[in-house]
Chains A and B, each alone.
Chain A
Amino acid sequence: MIDRNLNKKLNIFLTLVDKPKAGIPIAIKDNFLTKGIRTTAASKLLNSFIPQYSATVVNKLEANGYSVVGKTNLDAWCHGSSTETSDFGPTLNPWNTDYLSGGSSGGSAAAVSAGIVDVAIGSETAGSIRGPAAWCGVVGVKPTYGRVSRYGVIAMGSSLDCPGVLAKDVVSATKVLKIISGNDPYDATSSNRETEDYELFLTGNVKGLKIGLIENYLLPEMEKEVVDKTLGAIEVLEKLGAIITRVKTLDPKYAIGVYTVVQRAEVSSNLARYDGIRYGNDRNYFGQEAKRRIMLGTHILSSGYQDQYYKKAEKIRTLFNKDFDKLFEGFDVLVGPTMPGPAPKVGVTKGQSMFGEMADVLAEPSAISGLPAVSIPCGFVRRLPIGLQIMGPQFSEGKILNVAYTYEQNHPKF
């Protein structure tokens, strides 16, 4: 049974399932279609939308003994990194309700963090799983682009969107990732590569593993404690036999621009379908954030600006891919802090049109290159959790999960 008072206090679920089927409880971000269960994307435009079919991810979970208990809050249309753009108000951080849970998968992160469920489904375009996982002190797994089907997920940035997992520990995350991964004929961008048995990778051994610590992810403006806790976590892996080398990547600040351009362009196209005719309310129900993104995307894609912005962004995306390819020739995984700091206070995003893009600066480079990444809790700063992120080449989910697992099993008490 879900504690309704706790849910009300934290504003986690937008819809609770009246009588969940027998099974392992799981919370689903409200941008995944669930047959017969209201799905809103946290926008009043879809306030009373009841999907006629379920997302592939949901079907796979139900076929494997999981039961949907509710739909979690998010930034409206996933537009944000705070849940403050939700038309239903923000989800509060279970560690301290004066602070944000992060976003866009903030409801899913908080549902796990508050102990309501062991596992929740989220999605990430650039930081939307890792960010809230770090701020709420849970494990967040953003798979390789194309590893998990997008069918039935309300589209945001189609060349970036990745369904993934938020969980109380690495083993629970791994089990669910294994279930939801795999080819789906209904999603032409889903990979036909066979899914590996990720659980077999969880050996707890990182001896000889070559880890690149991304030096320039330790941003000059970061609090010293964030840097110290991050380095402390990496030291744990070093003591267990991993070989740590400091590396530099292409400046992540360029990823902010690439992400902004690509995502706004894809948003303007994806949200064109909301005409209020076949389902949902009309376009007057879009909130300010959605309008802003649609407008900017429309501008970026208009003739005369396409080369200047859109094509240029996609070229810089290539530079990021090449940069990562080169690094992965010498390293098994790359590590760094997940976010520049712990969760900020509720209300901080007011008037900040680029809040999410700036907050997610360390997640954006790997997201635009379609890489898998895990965020694992690595301590507290000002009594708020922070995360260590582990990134790998495409389809190296098993490897990065093992690094996270090894750290989880061996770190000293926070």
Chain B
Amino acid sequence: MDIKALAKLAKLNLDKREEGYFEKQFDETFKIIDQFENLDTSKISETYSVIKTKNIMRDDEIDISRILSQDEALRNAKSSHNGFFVVDAILDNDR
């Protein structure tokens, strides 16, 4: 398992100590998960959800009671500008 690559995918910064620590712990965890091999599931389908209801729909109408005002929506933001969230630039603007 490439711990560094996983951390990058998950957008997490790990220090060296954590990298080693996690690697060892994941081995322990997979020892438990690998017991799965004892069970034959070749003719079994997956259960992704235990609910019996399907295709829950609602009318395509705006529920005003659930809408936050712009001020409310921005209230917990670290940084906002002219009523918008401020995010880091993701595009290189050199060219």
Candidates B44, B50, B68; contact of A369 at CB < 8 Å? B50
Interface residues on B, range: 35 or more
**CB atoms of B47 and A314 under 8 A apart:** yes
What are the residues of chain A within 8 A of B38 when measuring CB–CB? 254
What are the residues of chain A within 8 A of B51 when measuring CB–CB? 145-146, 189, 191, 370
Q: Mark B48-75, 1 if CB is under 8 A from A, else 0.
A: 1111110010100000001010001101
Q: Mark A253-274, 1 if CB is under 8 A from B, else 0.
A: 1101100110000001000100
Nearest-neighbor residue (CB-CB) of A261 within chain B: B33
**CB atoms of B56 and A318 under 8 A apart:** no
**CB atoms of B78 and A276 under 8 A apart:** yes
Complex interface residues of chain B between 77 and 95 (CB less than 8 A to chain A) = 77-78, 85-87
Complex interface residues of chain B between 1 and 42 (CB less than 8 A to chain A) = 1, 3, 6-7, 9-14, 18, 21-22, 25-26, 28-29, 32-36, 38-39, 41
**CB atoms of A295 and B32 under 8 A apart:** no
Q: Does residue A396 face the partner (Cβ distance < 8 Å to B)?
A: no
What are the residues of chain B within 8 A of A313 when measuring CB–CB? 33, 36
Q: Does residue A4 face the partner (Cβ distance < 8 Å to B)?
A: no
**CB atoms of B25 and A298 under 8 A apart:** no
Q: How far is the CB of B76 from chain A (nearest CB, A)?
A: 3
Q: Does residue A409 face the partner (Cβ distance < 8 Å to B)?
A: no
Q: Does residue A315 face the partner (Cβ distance < 8 Å to B)?
A: yes
Q: CA of A319 to CA of B40 in the docked complex: distance in angstroms?
A: 10
Candidates B7, B53, B76; contact of A191 at CB < 8 Å? B53
Q: CA of A52 to CA of B3 in the docked complex: distance in angstroms?
A: 37
What are the residues of chain A within 8 A of B9 when measuring CB–CB? 298, 302
What are the residues of chain B within 8 A of A298 when measuring CB–CB? 6, 9-10
Complex interface residues of chain A between 277 and 304 (CB less than 8 A to chain B) = 277-281, 283-284, 286, 288, 291-292, 294-296, 298-299, 302
The 6 A-B residue pairs with the shortest CB-CB distance in the complex, in nearest-first order:
A370-B50, A279-B76, A314-B46, A315-B41, A353-B25, A317-B47
